[in-house]
Amino acid sequence: MKAPYWLDKNEYPFKSKYLEIDGSKIHFIDEGEGEIILMVHGTPDWSFTYRNMVKHLSKKYRCVAADNLGYGLSEKPENADYTPEAHSIRLWKFIEKLGLKNINLVVHDFGGPIGFGYALNHPENIKRVVIFNTWMWSLKDEKHFETPGKIFGGWLGKFFYTQLNFSARVIMKASFGNKKKLTPEIHRQYLKAQGSPKERIAAFACVKSLIGSSSYYNNLWEKRESLLKKPVLMMWGMKDEFLKTSLLFPKWEELLKSKKIVNLENAGHFVQEEEPEAINRELEAFLNS
């Protein structure tokens, strides 16, 4: 497929590849050779968010990053199931079709529940885990998440998310610790990837699933012990006001007390955009350990 006119090939100089999963085309990049690093994104981003990691790490590793259905350069069918559990099933099929083995898994945002849905059920195929700002337990009864889930989970949210591109236009920008790190040129790559109301349905589905997928998150949490058997590196943007640090970080800190945790003090939610050099440095040391 031809690259869209808005795609910045200087920032994203990778060859696009496609796999058909359940009748829809999933876009992905597959760069380098060696141990596999599989990167799973959240909302409203796409594989573009991992570009700086891929550029650096693909010199020594095989870096694979797919666009979840409804995001980036993947197809965006209007009536697809865009819950985290459905994305996770598609990820499993993606891994099977590519024959990915002994995976170093990287997750961020909704990519956590999506990626953990595979990892906690197939621990034998996971070598290491890298965690950026995310979660894997129910957010129900947390006012910070439940209130926007209720407000934006209905017709008002659908209008804001599909008609106004609220997720990419407003929430993403507000989620940066340093707003200057999201330049107009970089922001354009996220805005244009959700260029029309029909292309924003997956983002709207995510806000509904903050609370709506609580039973799925609980199921992940019940299987957390298999995660603790793996080498884990967590890097957390401490100025995250979206996945609020004061609510989520302490739970991760308690769970991963024997693992390595790196506090990115000046970063907000989108750590890959705000601290690419620090992330690449820590990741390379972790993968070499």
- Nearest of 14, 1, 6 to residue 75 by alpha carbon: 1
Residues 6 or more apart whose Cβ sits within 8 Å of residue 156? none
Please check the confidence at residue 146 and state whether its pLDDT lies above 90.
no
Q: 192 exposed, middle or buried (CB, 10 Å; 0-12, 13-18, 19+)?
A: middle
CA distance 48 to 239: 22
Please answer whether residues 26 and 69 qualify as being in contact, where contact means their C-beta atoms are separated by less than 8 angstroms.
yes
**10 Å Cβ neighbour count for 170?**
12
> For residues 18 and 9, what is the distance between their CA atoms, to the nearest angstrom?
18
Whether the bond into 4 is cis, omega within 30 of 0 = no
* Structural domain includes residue 2: no
Contact 127, 157 (CB under 8 A): no
**What does the pLDDT read at residue 153?**
81
Q: How many residues does the chain have?
A: 289
Query: What pLDDT, in 10s, does the model give residues 241-250?
Result: 999 999 999 9
In 3-state terms, what secondary structure has residue 14?
coil
Question: Which residue, 204, 211, 213, is CA-closest to 76?
Answer: 204
Element (H, E) at 20: strand 17-21
User: Predicted confidence band at 189 (pLDDT cuts at 50, 70, 90)?
Assistant: very high
In a domain, 11, yes or no: no
Rounded Cα distance, 52 and 275, in Å: 10
Q: Decide: 203 and 225 in contact? Cβ < 8 Å.
A: no
> What pLDDT score does 149 carry?
75
Structural domains of the chain, count: 1
Count other C-beta atoms under 10 Å from residue 220's C-beta: 24
3 falls within a domain: no
The answer to whether residue 118 is domain-embedded is yes
Give yes or no for residue 235 having a pLDDT over 90. yes
Residue 131 lies inside a defined structural domain of this protein: yes
Output the domain CATH number for residue 147.
3.40.50.1820
Give the residue from 74, 99, 85, 78 showing the smallest Cα distance to 21: 74
Instruction: Supply 99's token pair.
Output: 């024959």
Whole-number percent of the chain with pLDDT over 90:
93
In the structure, what pLDDT confidence band is assigned to residue 152 with cuts at 50, 70 and 90? confident
pLDDT digits (tens, 9 = 90+) for 109-133: 999 999 999 999 999 999 999 999 9
Identify whether 154 is part of a domain: yes
**Contact of 37 with 161, CB cutoff 8 Å:** no
Both tokens of 161, joined, read 């998310």
CA 71 to chain CA mean position, Å: 11
Mean pLDDT confidence for 139-156: 85
Residue ranges making up the domain that contains 91: 17-288
